[in-house]
Structure 1
């Protein structure tokens, strides 16, 4: 019936163009084939026609496929609204290896995150189109994959190496090799040569190390981005840092008393960061100007609190964001921090998870830092620095006792925040951490 319908169409309208649908349910993509010897028709028909098996016209194949439908191309995916290009860092597979659908075959390093290039279909990698170190944009072709090829055995199991002794040469070649083999002459003893000692350089010339003891590598894009942002922060903000110290006795006792019950109920450990995040939320609510930002000639006050947490990874510093921390409890904050830290260490953070943020907390104490002056994370207006906990002598009720103390630092933009607001902000954090009951009573 289908063949009679197609024949009838050709007889009635000789200038018609055959349009073949990709799907039998819904017309989505069209590919027109012009019949030989017939003029082109301006408007293709959006109908579905079934051709006999012997028809010379082939169905339209899926995106990124060759004409025969066997080869597909892996392309760079969309990398985010603010990311226009990236660097092809490395390939995870080799030509000739088998890959499955959606399996990563390459990694793209951007200014913020590392993105995987996945295989669109299951098959064998025919070749790589791009090279490591190339700058690529979304849609750039990276590799060609064959869906019907057989994996290269060289990548599956290396061939057994055979010794040259096990394969004897033919008689004629043996004679030739024996005739051409050079005669071994006795080694003559070389007389030692008198060498002149090197001239001593003048004391005024600096002694530089040799160049072969140096290594030059290209700077990763993430490190470039961090360097540019920090330098822009220094050039833009009028940064000033104020310090205070916190007695961690009560907070550490709280952790010790309830850590087991906390893990049993919430399936996550109770850390110090959640307490400082809640203390920062309380301080930002008391001093809303610290949560604000300068935009041209205006000041933008935010009625929401998104805390950015600085995480150091092997590739560089990343600052993922915990959204709406003013609506979270201790358990929600700990779960959010653990999830973002795992993604940061595995390079699985997305652009959205690092965008925004109204205030940043950096914990240099995990590396043993005693005191530091953190740099503001633009376009925010302030950053809190935590440091290591050290037993120090302090005066309590007229007596000198040893207490676990931590220095805290607040770096703020002095164009927007005055010293009064900064000191009161840091004082609020000190009061809440030293006596967490203030959060319960809201005092």
Structure 2
């Protein structure tokens, strides 16, 4: 039985040892506060235990609890898209786990049916988690990644990014790595046992000692005469991206829904080309814009639609929607597929204003910078296949629109003018329309009006 004095002395010694361990814990926290290890901590639960990346490390006793939000990771989610879009495919991450990312810096790109959506980091810090792989489907609101807020490591601080091979799975802890090292050590110890097994002595025979190979009749090379050896052929399969899939769906949907019919005409481009030749240098000097065909054709369509409003209308359920504005979708070919950015209120713009807007949208499309606002809401489409050498073709309606005008290449052809055969620069026009809403008479009248305005551009001033 210990005396009272002895028990008191032992209690005092125990208290001193606990205080010492607490001081050691505080010193550990302070010493490692600037290291990459501590920066990856999820929280400091107490002076007695620290959780680093989900793994508990005991440091000292736990007389009281400490929590900190400084190192709490920020969740980055898939942002809202357009009303009709709820999911996309992850195109790429620009950072790896362990990389530092600045606020508003690009972290990921999501490919949708229409455009690519860029996701930026809302904070500066270290990327601690990436939840998907490229081409995975992601939905609005899902967590894309986690970023632990913090400052960039100082240059020359000696901190290094964690190697991917050193990262354990979430379900594994320190014990898993220890077991792995023990297994590796046991394998090394067991290695000499393999050497005890008898080895077959392999000697390479000399050329003279090698047996002569006998070629059976089936292995004899075919006779060169009257024989044909096919060339090797290969196939490459590539997964369709979301934009191409959506284009395929929409075009087939258009064919299955609309009662499509195409009417044709040809237009003499002489007056328009002469007009462009006279004023193109002056227009470039004053506005910096090239005087092309698309601006004039767009203006001609907006004027012709005033006489035939059904061209600019749409069917919605059992109702017909007529519009007093014309938003022209301009088909632009990009490496990823065909896109149709929209020129808003084309009826109120001048020819040069329309031309400027088409150039601006075309550049954005080819650079992959179009927004959803740029792509939605068109009421009539113009597709210019002539820039690629098309002579004749039938465009497909851009549903839910009612009509689309196809332009084709300008070719010198013999035509009859005032009883004389002359050579003129001619272009074929093709108007595909939905016969459910637009009658043949209206479609032909619309196309004929466009033809007349292009053959005599001065008439546009009279509308």
The gaps in structure 1 that reach 5 residues or longer are 1-54, 60-66, 156-175, 201-206
Aligned pairs for 1:38-49 (under 5 A) are none
Q: CA RMSD in A?
A: 2.8
Which residue pairs with 1:113 in the alignment?
115
Which residue pairs with 1:14 in the alignment?
none
The gaps in structure 2 that reach 5 residues or longer are 1-63, 154-158, 164-194, 223-228
Which residue pairs with 2:286 in the alignment?
265
Residue 126 of structure 1 aligns to a residue whose secondary structure is strand
**Would you say 1:235 and 2:237 are equivalent positions?**
no
Aligned pairs for 1:89-128 (under 5 A) are 89-128=91-130
Residue 86 of structure 1 aligns to a residue whose secondary structure is strand
Are the counterparts in 2 of residues 130 and 141 from structure 1 also a CA contact under 8 Å?
no
For residues 39-81 of structure 1, give each alpha carbon's deviation from its aligned partner in whole angstroms, at most 9, with x where no partner exists: xxxxxxxxxxxxxxxx96667xxxxxxx433633332222122
Which residue pairs with 1:172 in the alignment?
none
Which residue pairs with 1:217 in the alignment?
238
**Would you say 1:73 and 2:94 are equivalent positions?**
no
Residue 123 of structure 1: how far off its partner (Å): 3.1
Residue 93 of structure 1: how far off its partner (Å): 3.1
For residues 315-337 of structure 1, give each alpha carbon's deviation from its aligned partner in whole angstroms, at most 9, with x where no partner exists: 11111111100100022111211
Label 1:112 to 1:432 Cα distance change in 2 as closer, same or farther (>3 A): same
Residue 252 of structure 1 aligns to a residue whose secondary structure is helix
Residue 271 of structure 1 aligns to a residue whose secondary structure is coil
Quick one: distance in 1 between partners of 2:318 and 2:219? 68
Which residue pairs with 1:294 in the alignment?
315
Label 1:295 to 1:123 Cα distance change in 2 as closer, same or farther (>3 A): same
Residue 70 of structure 2 aligns to a residue whose secondary structure is coil
Which residue pairs with 1:387 in the alignment?
408
Residue 234 of structure 1: how far off its partner (Å): 0.7
Determine which structure has the larger helix proportion and give its number.
2
Are the counterparts in 1 of residues 124 and 151 from structure 2 also a CA contact under 8 Å?
no
**Would you say 1:310 and 2:331 are equivalent positions?**
yes
**TM-score, normalized by length of structure 2?**
0.70
Which residue pairs with 1:372 in the alignment?
393
Quick one: distance in 2 between partners of 1:374 and 1:187? 73
Aligned residues: 350
**Would you say 1:345 and 2:366 are equivalent positions?**
yes
For residues 344-391 of structure 1, give each alpha carbon's deviation from its aligned partner in whole angstroms, at most 9, with x where no partner exists: 112221112111111100111111110100010110111000001111
Which residue pairs with 1:137 in the alignment?
139
Residue 251 of structure 1: how far off its partner (Å): 0.8
For residues 152-185 of structure 1, give each alpha carbon's deviation from its aligned partner in whole angstroms, at most 9, with x where no partner exists: 5799xxxxxxxxxxxxxxxxxxxx9xxx9x9874
Label 1:152 to 1:305 Cα distance change in 2 as closer, same or farther (>3 A): farther
Which residue pairs with 2:353 in the alignment?
332
Residue 411 of structure 1 aligns to a residue whose secondary structure is strand
Residue 100 of structure 1: how far off its partner (Å): 2.2
Are the counterparts in 2 of residues 97 and 152 from structure 1 also a CA contact under 8 Å?
no
**TM-score, normalized by length of structure 1?**
0.73
Residue 209 of structure 1: how far off its partner (Å): 9.4
Which residue pairs with 2:89 in the alignment?
87
**Would you say 1:320 and 2:341 are equivalent positions?**
yes
Residue 446 of structure 2 aligns to a residue whose secondary structure is helix
Quick one: distance in 2 between partners of 1:102 and 1:198? 67
Are the counterparts in 1 of residues 100 and 152 from structure 2 also a CA contact under 8 Å?
no
Residue 213 of structure 1 aligns to a residue whose secondary structure is coil
Are the counterparts in 2 of residues 99 and 119 from structure 1 also a CA contact under 8 Å?
yes
